[in-house]
Amino acid sequence: MIDATGRQKILIIDDSEIITEMLTEALKDSYAVITAMNGERALELASEDPLPDIVLLDVQMPGMNGYEVCARLKAVEKTRTIPVIFITGFNGEDNEYKGLELGALDYISKPFSLNLVKTRIRNHLELKRYRDNLEELVQARTRELELTQEVAMESMGTLAEFRDPETGGHIKRTQHFIKALAVNLKGHDKFRNILQDNTINLLYKSAPLHDIGKVAISDSILLKPGKLTGEEFEEMKKHTVYGRDVIHAAAKRLGDDSFLHIAEEIAYTHHEKWNGAGYPQGLRGEEIPVSGRMMAIADVYDALISKRVYKPPMPHQKAVSIISSEQGVHFDPDIVEAFMELSDVFRNIALQFADFDEEREILSKLDET
């Protein structure tokens, strides 16, 4: 790391004052040089910001030897990428092999040429600079790709919501509902192997696509202010199949490991019910993917507390009571337990992303049922 003087930083670790003084004198005009005479002090200095750009390390030292110092540097996330060059009087292939096995980049035998040491340092620092730049580019590209995925899914999800101007906040609310549930359940015995951090992130990003299939439903059904007929409801139920097909077509272009696989699960299964009475497949219990089970609660809660052309918003406590009554019927019992623990969190999310003042007013009435 560049220090306050604008120079790269070198840490020299050697119990010989003669060696440390000689190396310091040779390097001080080009680098910021710090020294340590023993392993304990070396580990302290190696962890101080700005971190050293390279470490020159003797093997034979009292107390903690150089091999142990190197091993401990490589065992810590903060210091593991600092390049280490052994400078030692321990010659021989076995000693060199041991140093390189521990993660050192180079091995210089004493007595050494100062010009050789300076050249090795310069070359390794140049390689480190290229490596650091590459890592920054990879991280930037990864962030760009993640943002592209998120924007694409939100944009696709918004297409469906544009069909119904009264549900603008639905995407944001359900995104945050499902994330809250997933974070709560990640330590649960039944879910910890499924709800890893990456999966939770994908659940959050995928949630906006749960109703993407509604783009294929006619306005006369989607925006009907009254109760749907049996025939109309059968057509409405097809939005789960349409959604799956749209996402599946996109996922095929991206391959088997597509980030869209969770979005496809959610779109297809969020109307399944724990007792098997849902649609489109009539799945029962744990046949339903976890993503669909969580979205089922997020979607129903949001539908209950939201204003629609065919109904006013429902008070929060009444919505909670309805979901509680469907534990083991419509919803996974364990996910309902998580929902009950998070009911205030759900209310706050709903308030934050409410579409109408009427919704905020009713949600703010804490004890109304």
Structure tokens at 74: 């490589």
Structure tokens that stand for 309 in this block: 């052309």
Q: pLDDT tens-digit profile of 220-264? A: 998 888 889 999 999 999 999 999 998 888 888 776 656 788 999
Q: Residue 264 corresponds to which amino acid?
A: E
Per-residue pLDDT tens over the stretch 52-78: 999 999 988 888 998 899 999 999 999
Q: CB neighbours of 84 closer than 8 A, spacing ≥ 6?
A: 54, 55, 57, 70, 73, 74, 103, 104, 105
DSSP 226-245: SPPPHHHHHHHHTHHHHHHH
Q: Which of 21, 59, 65 is nearest to 39 (CA)?
A: 65
Q: Torsions phi, psi of 75, nearest 5?
A: -85, -10
CB 350 within 8 A of CB 359: yes
Phi, psi of 35 (to 5 degrees): -135, 155
Q: Is the pLDDT of residue 367 over 60?
A: no
In terms of C-beta density within 10 A (0-12 exposed, 13-18 middle, 19 or more buried), how is residue 260 classed? buried
Distance CA 357, CA 307 (A): 10
Domains in the chain and their CATH numbers? 9-136 (3.40.50.2300), 163-363 (1.10.3210.10)
Residue 28: how many CB atoms within 10 A of its CB? 12
pLDDT band at 5 (very low <50, low <70, confident <90, very high): low
Question: What pTM was computed for the model?
Answer: 0.63
A 10 A CB-CB count for 261 gives 18
Cα–Cα distance, 334 to 338 (Å, whole number): 6
